[in-house]
Structures are given as structure tokens and as C-alpha cells.
């Protein structure tokens, strides 16, 4: 079971993430995902909303391959070339993760990614609960 602590005593409340997420189970680490379709083609050149939606779809597929889902995500790390893209990223995240169970998160502005057409890269950590003994 995952326990979320969004505002520990003495810490300012978090607006778009949880300060602390603790969990027990099997760790699933998903490498940073880019806005590439299944054929390796860029989705949404110059469009942060389209890129964010593709990145979250890629995260969903990676999590599913490991037997996990967004309900198991405990940490997201956003690497973005422009912080102005965060509203589009939050909208894409909102299609997969409800506001009442936001994971811990870090957002890092970077000078660039592996190629200049990429506007963001997002990685995830998930914890899948171990099956109950029975």
C-alpha cells in the first residue's frame, strides 16, 4: 500500500505534487521518455501539449510492460527546455493521475535534450504492491 504525505509539519503546502510518498513493494524505474511514436517519429514538433500527451502515453506503455500503472507512480521527474510548458505537462499528467494522488516530483529546466526538437523528457518511479500472502 502507498502512503502519501502531502504537507508534513513545517513544510509549505505543495500545489502540483506531493512532498513525500512512501511505499512498499516492487520498484519499477522508467527511463526518461520523449515524444516519439512507436516508429520513432517525433510527435508534435514545436507543440508542448502534443509532446506531453505522447510522453505520458509512452510512460503508460512502459509502466504496463512492467505490470504497473499510473496508480503506482510515486515520483515523476520532468526535464523541460522551457518552464512555460509546465501547464501543458500538468494537463497531460491530469489525464492519467488525479489531483488527489499526485506523486512526488521534480522539475528541472535544461538547456537542451538529446535533440533540439524535443521540448521535454519525463521519467517515472513506481512501486507495485507485493501480492498478499494467502
**Nearest 10 degrees: Cα torsion 97, 129, 127, 3:** 70
pLDDT of residue 15: 85
DSSP assignment letter at 132: P
The mean pLDDT of the chain is: 95
Task: State in Å, rounded, how far the first CA of the chain is from the last one.
Answer: 16
Q: What pTM does this model have?
A: 0.94
Asked: is 18-128 a CATH 3.30.1330.40 domain? The reply is yes
Q: Summarize the confidence of residues 68-77 as an average pLDDT.
A: 97
Measured distance CA(44)–CA(8) in Å, rounded: 39
Query: In Å, what is the CA distance from 103 to each residue of 4, 26, 114?
Result: 8, 16, 26
pLDDT tens-digit profile of 1-30?
678 777 799 999 888 999 999 999 999 999
> Domain locations in the chain?
18-128
- What's the grid cell of residue 5? 504525505
For residue 99, with 0-12 CB atoms within 10 Å meaning exposed, 13-18 middle and 19 or more buried, which class applies? exposed
Three-state DSSP at 50 gives helix
Could you identify the residue written with the cell 520513432? 40
Q: Where are the alpha helices (DSSP H) in 1-134?
A: 48-65, 86-94
Among the listed ranges 47-51, 94-98, 99-103, which one has the minimum average pLDDT value? 99-103
Measured distance CA(113)–CA(23) in Å, rounded: 31
Measured distance CA(70)–CA(56) in Å, rounded: 10
Amino acid at each position: 500500500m502507498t502512503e502519501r504525505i502531502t504537507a508534513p509539519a513545517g513544510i509549505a503546502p505543495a500545489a502540483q505534487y506531493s512532498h513525500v510518498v512512501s511505499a512498499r513493494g516492487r520498484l519499477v524505474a522508467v527511463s526518461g521518455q520523449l515524444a516519439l511514436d512507436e516508429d520513432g517519429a517525433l510527435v508534435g514538433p514545436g507543440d508542448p501539449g502534443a509532446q506531453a500527451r505522447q510522453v505520458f502515453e509512452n510512460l503508460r506503455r512502459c509502466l504496463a510492460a512492467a505490470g504497473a500503472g499510473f496508480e503506482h507512480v510515486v515520483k515523476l521527474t520532468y526535464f523541460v527546455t522551457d518552464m512555460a510548458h509546465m501547464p501543458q505537462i500538468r494537463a497531460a499528467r491530469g489525464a492519467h493521475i488525479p489531483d488527489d494522488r499526485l506523486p512526488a516530483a521534480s522539475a528541472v529546466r535544461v538547456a537542451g535534450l538529446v535533440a533540439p526538437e524535443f521540448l521535454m523528457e519525463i521519467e517515472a518511479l513506481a512501486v507495485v504492491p507485493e501480492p498478499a500472502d494467502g
